[in-house]
Amino acid sequence: MTDTPSYDKACAAFAEALRVDDAAGVDVELAKRIYARRALNREPEMQALKIRLRAERRLQQLAKELHNAGQLTPELANLANSSLSGCLWVPNCFDAPINRRF
């Protein structure tokens, strides 16, 4: 089973960004600006979190619909009940020792 192409592309882009360090090998001042920008940019992880939470919510809705129709499988029931969104820790800028003055 495959996901949508846009989701697959996003996963591939994150994997590539994790694998490659574009700031390695550049001068120190440029590297400092690159790393600061990345460290302070929370938007990509918040977008990823929204995608995951939306998927968890939709999975639970589908499980409820299938349960009401008498078609819920034990596997889907376990998946829908194993959501971690209820105990989610979202870090903020005060959790990391990063100085905003670069």
What is the secondary structure of 25-89 as a DSSP string?
TS-HHHHHHHHHHHHH--HHHHHHHHHHHHHHHHHHHHHHHHHHTT---HHHHHHHHT--GGG--
- The answer on 36 and 60 residing in a single domain is no
pLDDT tens string 10-66: 999 999 999 999 888 889 999 999 999 999 999 999 999 999 999 989 988 998 898
- The answer on 48 and 10 residing in a single domain is no
pLDDT tens string 80-97: 777 645 544 455 555 555
Q: What is the pLDDT at residue 53?
A: 92
Residue span of the structural domain in which 10 resides: 1-41
| pTM for the model | 0.67
Number of domains the chain is built from: 2
